[in-house]
Amino acid sequence: MKKKYFSILFAFLTPLLFHSVYGQCEGVTLESLSIPGPFSVAALDEEDGIRNGPDYNGATIYYPTNGIPPYASIAIVPGFTAGPSSVEAWGPFYASHGIVTIIIGTNSPIDFPEARAYALLDALETIKQENIRPASPLLGDLNLEQLAVSGWSMGGGGAQRAAVLDPTIAGVVALCPWLPNPDFDHNSAALIFSGQDDTVAPPSLHADLHYEATPVSTNKLLFEVENGDHSVANSPTGGDYSVGKIALSWLKLYVEQNDCYCPLLTDNLLVDPPAASKVEQDFICELLANNSPELALNYYPNPTQDRVYFEIFQELNFELYSPYGQRLQSGQLSSSQSYIDLSTYALGIYYLNIDNQVVKLIKTN
């Protein structure tokens, strides 16, 4: 599990760094995840001049009118036979928190997940065009490196597939996704919602398998809403508002790369959540690791099946930690003993403290 991050990393970095980072987080609280958020929202459609993409049918862009650009963006597609109105509530919600949202229809109501994946990619192209369209109120206001995709049912399966097709996508929010035999080889942080009583896409046949099919090296979270049906995540109010709060925190953390939202997930929203019948999580918040100086040593391969080799020119002390903060090994690396052996450990992420720096090592199969 990647979620146990602070206990490992606090010991290795200075209090000065901690205070400089967290001093910026005072306004990020559970109360700040309100529905709606602090910003006013407006909408654009084709009549306002936005692009009409060939791989989808009709779109509405929701955007904040008084936020602070540049903005992250997310594209959302509905499910089998459903129209944009089925997921419309997400548009104003995300926009009110500073995330530009495009909600699209499909060329055919019976489009399967792969077609919905291409529809999402086409929607992101429309977002990119708004950043350069002279008459757009979003001209120059979008961060095109902070893009996410989402969808309900077959659209949720399509969102995962879109991340496979486009590795620049930073995040995925799958809403009770439907897609048999999933294969999701991507690095986009993936949040999966499911409903315990979903009879259309039973979690054991879809969402659970989607979580397992998302690589172990990818940050991922599965949140199953107790007594939830197939549409429990169609609105941010689902699961007694927990769906919206978790989705927003996930996008802020992994798409906007705002580490202030990390403790909201790990210390609050995912701690014995009353709305959940099941939570599976395999993610890490990398606030402190990202601020650690880059290790000057060369090391390879990473990910690895067994050993990670280091180019060592002097003896260096090391400690290897599990994702739970348990110290697994300690010793010295040298020119005669220049590797860390992960062969006896389970697949996942481990942390190596070496030369007063933290290195993330990935054990794969």
Banded model confidence at residue 323, pLDDT cuts 50, 70, 90: low
Mean pLDDT of 57-63: 98
pLDDT value at residue 325: 55
**Options 198, 206, 259, 282, the catalytic residue:** 198
Lowest mean pLDDT among 8-22, 36-50, 140-154, 280-294: 8-22
Whose structure tokens read 């994946």? 117
296: confidence class by pLDDT, cuts 50, 70, 90: low
Provide the pLDDT confidence category of residue 295 given band limits of 50, 70 and 90: low
Of the candidates 86, 96, 150, 153, the residue annotated as catalytic is: 153
Burial of 313 (C-beta count, 10 Å sphere; 0-12/13-18/19+): exposed
Identified catalytic residue from 230, 231, 242, 249: 230
Asked if residue 17 has pLDDT above 60, the reply is: no
Residue 198 is a catalytic residue: yes
Cα–chain center distance at 249: 9
**DSSP assignment, residue 305?**
S
Residue 122 annotated among the catalytic residues of the structure: no
Domain boundaries, the chain: 6-288, 293-363
Residue 30 DSSP symbol: G
The letter for the amino acid at 264 is: L
Residue in 14, 16, 34, 11 with CA at minimum distance from that of residue 325: 11
pLDDT digits (tens, 9 = 90+) for 77-96: 999 999 999 999 999 999 99
With pLDDT > 70 as the criterion, what percentage of the chain qualifies? 89
pLDDT at 194 over 80: yes
Q: Please compute the mean of the pLDDT values over residues 229-251 and round it to a whole number.
A: 98
pLDDT value of residue 13:
36
- Which residue type is seen at 182? P
Q: Check: CB of residue 91 under 8 Å from CB of residue 103.
A: yes
Range 293-363 classified under CATH 2.60.40.3080: yes
Lowest mean pLDDT among 151-160, 283-292, 302-311, 325-334: 283-292
Q: Is the pLDDT of residue 258 over 90?
A: no
* Nearest-angstrom CA–CA distance, 115 and 15: 50
| Burial (Cβ within 10 Å: 0-12, 13-18, ≥19) of residue 204 | exposed
| Concatenated DSSP letters of 284-342 | ---HHHHHSPPPSS-EE-SSBSSEEEE--SS-EEEEEE-TTS-EEEEEEE-SSS-EEE-
**pLDDT at residue 11 tops 50:** no
Please state which CATH class domain 6-288 belongs to: alpha beta
Cα separation of 320 and 342, whole Å? 10
Identify which has the larger pLDDT, 362 or 270: 270
Q: What is the mean pLDDT of residues 117-133?
A: 98
In whole numbers, what is the pLDDT of the chain averaged over residues?
88
Q: Is 153 a catalytic residue?
A: yes
Q: Which of the four pLDDT bands, split at 50, 70 and 90, describes residue 314?
A: confident
Q: Is 39 helix (H, G, I), strand (E, B) or coil?
A: coil
Res 290 pLDDT > 60:
no
Is the pLDDT assigned to residue 9 strictly greater than 50?
no
Mean pLDDT of the 240-256 span: 97
